[in-house]
Amino acid sequence: MIRSFTDSLIRLSLFARAWALVSAVSLRVKILGMVLGLVLLLGTGVTLQVRATLTRTLLAQLQEESVSLGRDLAARATDPLLINDLYNIHQLLRETRANNPDVRYAFVLDRDGRVVAHTFGGGFPAGLVNANAVAADAHHHTLAIATEEGVVWDTAVPIFEGKAGTARVGLSEARMHGAIASVTRQLLLTTAIVSLIGIATAIFLTWLLTRPVRQLVAATEAVRRGDFSPRVGRWADDELGELADAFNTMTTDLARADAERLEREQMRAFYLRQIISAQEEERKRIARELHDETGQALASVMVGLRNVEESPSVEELHTRLVDLRGVASATLENVRRLALELRPSVLDDLGLAAALRRYAADYTARFRIPVETQIIGLDDCRLAPEVETALYRIIQEALTNVARHARATHVSVLLERRDGQLTAIVEDNGCGFDAEQALRAGALENRLGLYGMRERAELIGGTLTIESQIGCGTTVYVRMSESANERMGESANQRIL
C-alpha cells in the first residue's frame, strides 16, 4: 500500500512538472503545438489504420490466392500424375510460377509422399515436405512458414482425394509488404505536406490572436496595479472584439466601484467604531446592574428572609416571608436556567453527550414531555467545538419547536457516530405540519427557527432534512461526515495556535 501511494505521488509530481513546462510557454507556441500535434496525430492514426486494413485485406487475398492456385494445380496434375507423365507435371509447375509473381515455389508429391516434380533450381529444401500436410478427406490446408526470405503461405491440396498424391504451392508476402510500404510512404508524405500547411496557417492565426491578447495583458497589468484608466481598442468584430468591449466596460465599472468602495469603507469604519462603543457601554451597564443591583438585592432578600423566618413571632408573617423566599429562589433558578440556555457550561466541560442528557432531563421537568435519549459512539470521545455547539443548538431548537407547536406526548433523540458518519435524529408524535410548504424559500423566511437549524447544519458541512405530515408527527435528520468534523477540529486548532 505504501509503494502504491509512493507511485501515485511520483505520477502526480511528474504531471505537475509537465504541466508547469507546458503552461510556461507562450500562447503562440501552444497554438502551434496543438495544430502540429493534431495534424501529426491524425496523419499517424490514418496511416496506421490504412496500413492495418491494407495488411489484413492483402493477407486475406494472398491466402485465398494460395488456396485457389493449389486447387487448380491439383486438378490439372491429376491425369499426368496417374499416367506418370512427369514432363506435363513440370510444365504445369513452371506455368503456375510464371503466371503469378507471388508464387515462391510449387511441387507435387505422390501418394507415398515422395517429390515427383518441383520448381526449385538449386535442389529441394530439406524438411519442406513435412512442413505441411493435409488429410485425405480435407479440401486443403494452409500454413504460414517462416523462411529466410520472409513468411511463405504454403497450401497443400490432395490430388484425387489423396489417392494420387498432393499438390503444394507456396506464396511469398514480399510483394504484399512492398505494396504496403509504398502506400505508407505516400501517406507519410501527405502528412508532412499537411503539417507544413498547418504550421503556416497556425503562425498566421497566432499573429491575429496574440496581438490583441498582448494588449489585454498590458492593460490588465495596469488594472492590477490599481490604474483603471487603460482602455483596449476593438481589434475586430469577433469574440476578441467583444472581449475588448467587455474589458473596457469592466475597467469603467471597477473605477466606479473602487470609488464607492473607498466611500463605504470610510462609512463602515465610522459606524463600526460607533457600534463597538455602544456594545461596550451596554455590556458595562448590564454588568453593573447584575452586580450592583440584581445580585446584591437577591442576596439581601435571602438573608433578610432567613432572619425573619427564624423569628418565633407572628406565624402569618412567617408564612408570607417563606413564600417570598420561594419567589426569590425561583428568580435565582430562572437566572441560572437562562444562563445555561445562553451557553451551558456542561457542553464545554463534559461534551455533547452529557449536555444533551442534561438538557433532556431539564426539558422533561419543564414541559412535562418525556424525552428518550440514545447516544451511540460518543460517550468516550469529543467532537470539534463548532460541531458540538451546532448539533446542540439544532437539537435544542427542534425540541423547543415540539414544545411550542407539536402538542406531542413523547419525543426521542438519537445521536449516533458510526462508519465515518454523524447522525442526529429528533422525532416526535405530535400534530406535524406540511414540510414541503414550510421549507420553500418563501415560507422559510417566516420560519426563522427552521432557517437557523439549516444554516447551522450547512456551516459544519452537514445537511438538514425534515420529514413531516399533518397528523403524523415530525422527524428532523442532521447528517454530516466524520471528515467534516476533522476539518472543523483542525480549523479550531489553527485558531488556537
Q: In whole angstroms, what is the distance from residue 320 CA to residue 304 CA?
A: 13
- Asked if residues 32 and 203 have their Cβ atoms less than 8 Å apart, the reply is yes
DSSP string, 6-70: HHHHHHHHHHHHHHHHHHHS-HHHHHHHHHHHHHHHHHHHHHHHHHHHHHHHHHHHHHHHHHHHH
pLDDT for res 446? 45
pTM, to two decimals: 0.41
pLDDT for res 495? 46
Q: In angstroms, what CA-CA distances link 398 with 262, 360, 420, 454, 476?
A: 44, 12, 24, 11, 8
Question: C-alpha angle with apex 44: 42 to 50, nearest 5 degrees?
Answer: 100
Q: In whole angstroms, what is the distance from residue 223 CA to residue 248 CA?
A: 11
C-alpha cell recorded at residue 102: 507471388
- Asked if residues 428 and 404 have their Cβ atoms less than 8 Å apart, the reply is no
- Asked if residues 110 and 116 have their Cβ atoms less than 8 Å apart, the reply is yes
Q: How many residues does the chain have?
A: 497
Domains by residue range for the chain, with CATH: 26-225 (3.30.450.20), 228-342 (no CATH), 350-496 (3.30.565.10)
Report the candidate in 416, 411, 422 with the shortest Cα–Cα distance to residue 464: 422
Per DSSP, helices labelled H in 225-314 are: 239-289, 296-310
C-alpha cell recorded at residue 484: 467534516
Q: At what angle do helices 385-401 and 448-459 cross, to 10 degrees?
A: 160
Amino acid sitting at position 91: Q
Q: What is the pLDDT along the chain (497 residues), one digit of tens a residue?
A: 555 656 665 666 666 666 666 556 666 677 777 777 787 888 888 888 888 898 899 889 988 988 898 888 888 888 888 888 888 888 888 888 888 888 888 998 888 888 888 888 878 888 888 888 888 778 888 888 888 878 888 988 898 877 788 889 999 888 888 888 898 889 888 888 888 887 787 777 777 777 777 777 777 788 777 777 777 777 666 666 777 777 778 888 777 877 777 776 765 565 456 556 655 665 565 555 555 556 655 666 666 666 665 555 566 566 666 666 666 776 676 566 556 555 667 787 888 888 899 889 989 998 999 999 999 988 778 888 888 888 998 998 899 899 988 899 999 999 998 888 899 999 999 998 887 776 664 444 445 567 778 878 888 889 999 998 888 899 999 999 887 777 766 555 444 44
